[in-house]
Structure 1
Amino acid sequence: MPVPVQRDPEQTRRALADWLTARRRPRAGEVRVGPVRVPGAAGFSGEILLCDAEWTEGDGGTVRREPLAVRVAPTGHRVHPDDRWTEQVRLLEILNGTDVPVAPLLGHEPGSSVLGAPFLVMRRIEGEVPADFPSYHREGWLAGLPPQSRRAAWLGGIEMLAAIHRLDPLALGLGFLDRPRYGIGHLTQQLAEFTELLPYYGADDNETATTALTWLHDHQPEEPGPPRLLWGDARLGNIVYAGETPTAVLDWEMAALGRPEADLAWFLHLDRHLSEGIGAVRLAGLPDRAETVRHYERITGHVVQHLEYYEVFAAFRFCVLTARVTRLLEESGIMPPGTDFPLHRNATRLLGRVLEETGVRHGNTAARR
C-alpha cells in the first residue's frame, strides 16, 4: 500500500543526480540518474524511490552503475507520531558493520532542501520479497515455490531473526533505542507509549483494542536478562530472497530493545493475518507455530517464554497500526470517512480471536470483557 505522494519524477531525478554528484562521489565526475519509480509493494509508513545511477571513473572512462533505493522520511503521512529518523539512520550505519545482512547505506541527507524531507540512499538489493497485497498465501513468488522450498524460505527468515537477536546491544552502543521517559523496562515503556498514544492512532474507541491493552497491563511478564535488539517489523514481507535464501532484511522503523519473543510473535502473527486473518488458506510447506519455535530455540539456545502474551501484544499492535492507516487513508481522501476498511476490520477480528484463545488457555475472563 504505497504512500500517496505527488512528486515530479523529472525534478526528483535531477535533484538526486545533483546531490549524488556533489556529495557522494565528488571525484567521480557527474552522476547520471535514470528514471525514478515507486515500488508497487511499498508500505504506507515511508516513501521509497527506486532508480539507477551511473558515472564515469578514471582516465580509461570506466562506467560504473549502481542500483539505488532512496528512503524519504515521512512527513504528512506518518503511521507513528515520532519517526525517530535520526535513530533509524544511526542504526543502519551500525548494522552495516555486523553480519546481519542489510542494504549497504551509501549516504544520507539530514536536511529537507533536496527532496522536501531527510532521506537516505542505499544500494538496492535485487531479489524476491513476499508480498502483503495480495497476500503471498494467495499468489506470487512464494506461492509458486514447491512446499519444501517454502519451508526453507520460512526457516531462513527465522534464522535472520536469530542473527539479529544474537547481536549485543550494549557492545554496539544501541542504548539510543531506549525510551526511558516511558518508564523502566522495555515492555513497560512500549505499553505506556501505546496507552498515551491510542487516540493518535485512532484506536481509543476500538473496544477490542482497549480490552487487549488492559489485559496486557494486567498480565505483563517480567523481562529477565539483558535486552536484545528487536527488528520490530519482523516478517517475511521485509526479507529479500535469492531463491529460497534470505539475502537482506528491510525496514527498521519499528526497531526497539526488549525480549526476542516480541519479534518472534510478530513474525507469527503477521503470517497468521495474511492467511487465516483474511480468509486465505495457508501455504503448504510453511512450518507451523510449534516447529517454528523449536527451530528458533535450537539455533539460538534461547528458551522461548511467555509467547502467548507476546502474541496478544503483536495482535494488539497490528490492530492499532491498521487503525492509524485507516485514518491516513481518510485524511488523504483515498477513502471516504467511515469506510469499513478490510485491513483494520480483519486485524480487529483476529485480535478478538487471539484474546478468546488466550482466555480459554488461561481460564480467565478478562480477555473476553
Structure 2
Amino acid sequence: MLDDEVAAFVAARRARVPAVVAEVEAWRRAERALTRAGAGADVLAGVSAVISDLRRVVARLDRAAIAVAVGGKRGTGKSTLARSIAGLNPAALPAAPGTRLVLRAGPRRRATLLPRTFAELRTSHLRPRHLLLGLPEPPTSAADLRAWRYPEPGDQGYLACAHPSLLADLRAIQASSVDLLDRRGRPLRFDDPLDAAAAAARAPHAVREVLVERERVPISLHDLPGTGAVTISTDLHVVAGLDIDVVLQVVRGHWCDADARATAVLGEAGAPVLVVLNGGESVPRGVDPLTALRADVRDREAVAAEVVAPLLRDLANRIPAADAELLAEVRAGAEPLRVEMAEHADLAECGFPPSAATGRPG
C-alpha cells in the first residue's frame, strides 16, 4: 500500500521533469550562442549559475522516493521512528549515534561510510567550538590536531570554561578522528550495516554520513544525530547539505530549551518541520496541537496510521507547491539576465518561452 501511494506521488512529481529539462537545454543553447557572440564573463557566469539551479530543480523533481529527515534532541526515539517508518529491524537499519544515517534505494544491499575531510571537520566541528570557547584558531591539519593540547580538568583554562562539554567534545574528536581523517574522504564499504554503524560510532565527528542501501525504498530516510544539547552553532553540521522534502522532529516528554534549539537547527534544512510526539496524551507547551503527529514510535502499525498516512496527505499538497515555488524563484532570479542576454543572442531560436515580464522571448 505504501509503495503504491509513494509511487503515484513520485510519478506525478516526475511528470514535471521534461518541461524543466527543456528549460535547461534552452539555457545551454543560449550559453553556446553567447560564447560565440563574445558575451562578457559575468553574463556567462550568470547563465552557468541558472543552469545549475535548474538542474537542482530537476534532481528534486526526479527523486525516486520521498526524502524525509528524522531529528530532534537525543533520546527521543528518532532512530526507532525511522525504523518503524521503514519497517526494518535494528540489524537492517542500525542506530549510529552522533552520525547521520541515510536509507536510500540502491542496486543491492550494502552500507557505505563517508568520512569527512579534515577541512570539513575543521569547519563543522572544530571552528564552532573554538569560537564559543574563546580558543585560538583551530588546527589546520590532521597532524596539527594530533599535537594540539586542549585544557583538561584541573587546568585554569578548563575551570574558567563556560562549556566544559565542548572541551570534552574537542578531546574526543582529537582522540578518535585522526585515523579516519587520514582517508581524506575516501569511502569505506560494508556488506553489513551494523559494521558500518560500529565503525562510525568509534569516530562520529569524522563521519559525514553512513549510507544504507536496499533494493526498494519508497521513503528515503535521514536519521539525524541528536541536536540542541548545548548550542545551535555546534549542531548546524547535522543539516548541512541535506536535500529533503520534510523534517520530522521527535519530541518525548515536556518541551524544553533543547527542543527549541533542535527546532532552530532542523529549520536550517530548508524544509518544513513537523513535530512527532512520541507517546503521551497531552501536547507539550510549545507544540502546535493542530499540526503535531502522535504515535508510540515503537509501534509500526501506529506509526503507519498516525504518522506516515497523514504525512503523505500533507506532502501531497505541500510538495507540489514547494516545487513550484522553487522553480518560480529560479525563473524570477534569471529574468534580469534574460534581458541582458537578449542583447547578444536570439532567445527565441534558443527555445526560450516568452518572458514573464515582457511576454517576449527576451
TM-score normalised over the length of structure 2: 0.26
Higher relative contact order (CA 8 A, sep 6+): 2
Normalised TM-score (structure 1): 0.26
- Which structure is larger by alpha-carbon Rg, 1 or 2? 2
More helix, by proportion: 2
